[in-house]
């Protein structure tokens, strides 16, 4: 009985992988837009806090944008090359990212953000998941 259960789980995983692969090929599923920033010296904590609030509000203004996660570097390894903040926006497709980038609310926000940024990295990708192989007992 446990082996049958494991085989069924493996079939479900295979089906999920196929679905994710098809969605990725079609540009559907989960797409991420990542913005990594180093703010200019002299940008106050209050300014950065307001920029974060304004970016979070874009979720309410731009329909393809599903959520925003952000954080400040806390790594003890000092490998951040000066970058201090990361912002991860979630979309259902790469088309959603394109719509977001061209949206007037995003363009207006960029006018307030970019003058405060010393350097940045922008990275867009489709989310891929690697499932562990089934363990046969």
> How distant, in Å, are the alpha carbons of 7, 52, 125 from that of 85?
43, 10, 19
Find the DSSP H helices in 27-123. 45-61, 94-102, 104-113
Positions marked active-site: 100, 103
Torsion of CA 123, 93, 69, 41, to 10 degrees: 30
């Amino acid at each position: 009985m446990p082996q049958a259960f494991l085989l069924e789980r493996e079939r479900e995983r295979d089906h999920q992988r196929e679905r994710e692969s098809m969605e990725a090929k079609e540009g559907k599923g989960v797409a991420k837009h990542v913005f990594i920033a180093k703010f200019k010296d002299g940008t106050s904590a209050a300014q950065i806090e307001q920029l974060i609030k304004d970016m979070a509000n874009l979720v309410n203004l731009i329909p393809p944008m599903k959520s925003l996660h952000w954080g400040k570097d806390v790594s003890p390894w000092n490998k951040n090359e000066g970058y201090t903040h990361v912002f991860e926006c979630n979309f259902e497709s790469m088309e959603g990212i394109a719509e977001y980038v061209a949206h007037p609310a995003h363009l207006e926000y960029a006018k307030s953000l970019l003058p405060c940024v010393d350097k940045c990295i922008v990275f867009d990708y489709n989310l891929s998941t690697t499932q562990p192989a089934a363990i046969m007992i």
